[in-house]
Amino acid sequence: MDVVRIFDTTLRDGEQSPGFSMNTAEKIRVAHQLAALNVDVIEAGFPISSRGDLEAVRQVAKEVRTVPIAALARARKDDVMAAVEALEPAAASRLHIFLATSDLHLKVKLNMTREQALESISSMIRLGRQHVGEVEFSAEDAGRTDIDYLCTVCRVAVEAGATVLNLPDTVGYAVPEEYAEMFRRVDASLVATFGANHGITLSAHCHDDLGLAVANSLAAIRAGVRQIECTINGIGERAGNASLEEVVVALAVRKESFNVSTNINLEQLFPASRLLSEVTGAQVAPNKAIVGANAFAHEAGIHQDGIIKNPLTYEIMSPQMVGVPERSMVLGKHSGRNALRLSLRDLGYEPTDVELGEVYKRVTALADEAKQVRPRDVVAIAHEVLRRRSTLAAEATSAA
């Protein structure tokens, strides 16, 4: 089974977005968790952007020895040499060079012709290869680049020594079918030039402006892409990048459909999400897939009843699989008696049907007022209703 490599850019694309900046110590903390997650590459920063960022990449490279460290550079000599300097202490490193290739970016942003861009791409990749063993090239705004020119760009990058070609949907404009089609066209052109065993890894990098970053990444995998660039909690420029946890869990849950695997330790996903929130102070939305507070919460009574009988009724994956400590059964006004009985059992109570009815009445009355009933509220109500029995339970517990 093919392995899809996970290139994490939480510390670069993620970190450069407003509200998510991290100092060196924070970057190192997150990088250690990314290593525990077993990502395949950690992009640690953009060294030319500031001396502080260059130092942060150096420190991450010194501290985290088990995962290759990548640094970003524009196709300019100063950029490349700053990245080379930052990567110097790394056990394994990757230089990530990018240049925009769409006519719009070339004309308006870079004031370059297509030919000049090809020349820069070729010379800067060759320069990088003199210092770093592995070079990845990104054709910025690939999604809006003329496809024939994009194929030429990719051929030139490979001839200069790049072994990973990243074709980002920089502006989050693509839809899955057309993004996949771009990779099929580029791969066909690589096969025509370098043969079927060209050994080049194609990579996707998607933004979520239309909410399609994960869908586009998965479509790219179906088109032969074997590296996905993504971030914890989907942080990143504007609406963010493809969410790492959503991509890898989709591949795991729908393994029979994709027929690929990743090297990710799934049970480290939830801890990684919480660590990033703690470090940046930015909480994920409660309804965020995989790592949101409600991702495994079941409130509707019918759902709760089903889950208790068999989790497969309403859960396509277990919370334990992604490292959520326990299923959070929220007791609200839509909860049923069966869920309440289970919660009481977890708290050490075995009510009779009459007692359960009484607790249920009070819990739902409270839920009407408070929307959500916390475990300690249930404890308080159960204590009142089952006063004699709670005393017995406490005695039994202390005896045990």
Cβ proximity to Zn ion: between 13 and 15 the closer is: 13
| 398/117 Cα distance (integer angstroms) | 75
Cβ proximity to Zn ion: between 13 and 79 the closer is: 13
Interface with Zn ion (CB under 5 A), residue total 1
| Surface-to-core class of residue 325, CB atoms within 10 Å of its CB (0-12 exposed, 13-18 middle, 19+ buried) | exposed
Strands 201-205 and 164-166, sheet pairing: parallel
Q: Please state the closest distance from residue 341 (CB atom) to Zn ion, in A.
A: 49
Task: Give the x/- contact pattern for Zn ion in 46-85, rule: CB under 5 A.
Answer: ----------------------------------------
Binding segment toward Zn ion, per CB under 5 A, in 5-13, 143-151, 184-192, 330-338: 5-13
Q: Please state the closest distance from residue 31 (CB atom) to Zn ion, in A.
A: 19
Residue among 87, 182, 53 at smallest CA distance from 165 = 182
Judged by CB under 5 A, the chain residues 210 through 249 that form the site for Zn ion are none
Q: Please state the closest distance from residue 233 (CB atom) to Zn ion, in A.
A: 15
| 23/394 Cα distance (integer angstroms) | 49
Q: Which two tokens stand for residue 342?
A: 């289970």
Task: Give the x/- contact pattern for Zn ion in 315-334, rule: CB under 5 A.
Answer: --------------------
Cβ proximity to Zn ion: between 13 and 245 the closer is: 13
Cβ proximity to Zn ion: between 240 and 332 the closer is: 240
Q: Please state the closest distance from residue 324 (CB atom) to Zn ion, in A.
A: 28
Residue among 221, 222, 213 at smallest CA distance from 245 = 213
- Residue 200 near residue 165 (C-beta atoms within 8 A): yes
3-state per-residue secondary structure call for 356-389:
HHHHHHHHHHHHHHHCCECHHHHHHHHHHHCHHH
Q: Please state the closest distance from residue 206 (CB atom) to Zn ion, in A.
A: 8
Cβ proximity to Zn ion: between 33 and 231 the closer is: 231
**Contact call for residue 15 and Zn ion (CB under 5 A):** no
In the DSSP assignment, the letter for residue 316 is: S
Q: Please state the closest distance from residue 263 (CB atom) to Zn ion, in A.
A: 22
Cβ proximity to Zn ion: between 13 and 299 the closer is: 13
Binds Zn ion (CB under 5 A): choice among 8, 11, 13, 16? 13
3-state helix, strand, coil in the chain (%, to 5): 55, 15, 30
| 26/188 Cα distance (integer angstroms) | 42
Q: Pinpoint the alpha helices (H) of 223-300.
A: 244-253, 255-258, 269-280
| 274/324 Cα distance (integer angstroms) | 10
Binding segment toward Zn ion, per CB under 5 A, in 10-18, 60-68, 343-351, 360-368: 10-18
Q: Please state the closest distance from residue 52 (CB atom) to Zn ion, in A.
A: 21
Binding segment toward Zn ion, per CB under 5 A, in 13-21, 56-64, 65-73, 277-285: 13-21
Q: Which two tokens stand for residue 166?
A: 């990243």
| 147/153 Cα distance (integer angstroms) | 10
Q: Please state the closest distance from residue 241 (CB atom) to Zn ion, in A.
A: 6
Query: Under the rule (CB under 5 A), what is the footprint of Zn ion?
Result: 13
